[in-house]
Structure 1
């Protein structure tokens, strides 16, 4: 395989997850979907968006980076390619 990481990016509701799922099946790849884990800045952002938008985005960036880093490090005989429904630096 020429690539070890394929990322699908697009607007909300564009079908990123559907396309990433189909790609992962076709390529026999590990599917990695964006996780919206407990983010401590999310409730604060909803109360004061101007104050917490930067912290929220940095937190999401760090989460996406860690998730992809972990999956790329864990490639093995069962899968050599990782397909995700996001890019880490949105």
Structure 2
């Protein structure tokens, strides 16, 4: 199983689709369009912060169990990142310390269940790193109204805090092999750029023996 990681707006959905298509495997996406809580969270994070993280954690666990049925399936976010989002919400006061501890206990229980699956961890984590300006531009271009930062909604502070913490998260990630792709350097809608990116991924997979019979 291959997992994409990276903050909101970095391009995980596009990369996940292209990687799965090239590998001939299945892509598993974060539930956004049919998420009944997400837009409410952006309007009132203190009311919906905890509920949103529990929702994502539950859906992520379900996706992981499904993805393990076939080699090289691709997930567009990892369960290992969920704790980071919950931590950021705790720093901003959207989630209480008590809720945070409940969340961590639930996450620990789920991680124990994952250890019982045929594979204990992903085969490879691909971290998509991008400059803050590049990510903001992506968020603007995809046009989800509830994601757009304004002077009053506090989203700019949230995105900046998340962006700063993601780099430390990646450096400390130790559950599986990992690689970094600097998304500012590539537009994978262009064939040459995608060929370059996919070549990097193939090289890493070859080193790790992923996809070999």
Same fold (TM over 0.5): yes
- 8 Å CA contact retained: 2:2, 2:72: yes
Shift of 1:6: 0.7
**Residue 71 of structure 1, aligned match among 67, 70, 86:** 67
Alpha-carbon distance in 1 for matches of 2:8, 2:64: 20
Aligned to 2:185: none
Tell me: higher relative CO, structure 1 or 2? Use CA pairs within 8 A at least 6 residues apart.
1
Alpha-carbon distance in 1 for matches of 2:14, 2:55: 25
> What TM-score does the superposition give when structure 1 sets the normalisation length?
0.66
More helix by share: 2
- Structure 1 residue runs of 5 or longer lacking an equivalent are none
Alpha-carbon distance in 2 for matches of 1:43, 1:11: 17
The list of structure 1 runs, each at least 4 consecutive aligned residues, that deviate by more than 3 angstroms after superposition, is: 41-48
Matched, 1:7 2:27: no
Size of the alignment, in residue pairs? 80
Give the CA RMSD over aligned residues. Answer: 2.3
Q: Give a deviation string over 1:40-70, Cα, whole Å, max 9, x none.
A: x557645653243122211211111112212
Q: Indicate the SS of the match to 1:8.
A: strand
- Structure 2 residue runs of 5 or longer lacking an equivalent are 83-213
Aligned to 1:85: 76
